[in-house]
Structure 1
Amino acid sequence: MGYAERITSRHGVGLADPWSDRRLVDFILACPQHLVGNVLEAKRIARRAMKGVMSDEAIRSIRKVSPEGLYVDALRRKAHAKVLDLLTNSRCGELGYIDEPALRARFERYVRGEETIFDLWPTLSLEIWLRRYWG
């Protein structure tokens, strides 16, 4: 959670996770595990403890959520131009870390749905870092 808070704060985004509230965690850990939940009702005590604090809809919909869909959508739409900018005349390419034309072509194939997702984030992160800190 600390890492996630640092990452989001860099981008001006606040992290809110009521399920990680220390008071709730302390309460759950103090309870015998057979009371906390079972196969039929996951997080039973946690859900009851949050009654009145969170909306019923939020309590009912609790589950592990992956933000991958938002990331993929951003790559294909909202951040498409920014990604292309990072992959054009890149410092990573200049230093020989990537084959810039090949990576850009692969990204475009991905955007068109011709290629499955690939791990582009490390390259983009390095490019941003090099542009910011490497003269």
Structure 2
Amino acid sequence: MLYVERLMMSVFRVLHVDDDEAIGDLLETYLEESVDREEFSVTPARSVDEAEAVLDEIDIDCIVCDYQMPGTTGLEFLHRIRDRNPNKPFILFTNKGSADIASEAIEAGVTDYLRKGGGPEQYEVLRVS
């Protein structure tokens, strides 16, 4: 029972990796305000290098990453994450998608692949993923 209470009280930490600050702020605000969990935190990273530094410092429960990042892609970052932790939930959340990218992401072990949309409905899909 104590273990379950401790799990319920722990902070669920999401690392959101996106170089577009406006999209990052929107997603972070939406998730933090809509999730039915008091202890929920979104940590932003505006580059893969910054994301890797965060991963060295903080225990992250889930990674949400854009596909097109400066100097790399979300898929390349996914490969690095899978080398570090093959079971870490990783959601590729992107505007720059195609069937080839989705297929490659699935082969690489992505937990989910979601396309960014024009309205809040995609953020709702992300929230329940």
Higher RCO (CA < 8 A, seq sep 6+): 2
| Larger-gyration structure (1/2) | 1
- TM-score, normalised to structure 2, is 0.24
* TM-score between both structures, scaled by the size of structure 1: 0.23
Higher strand share: 2
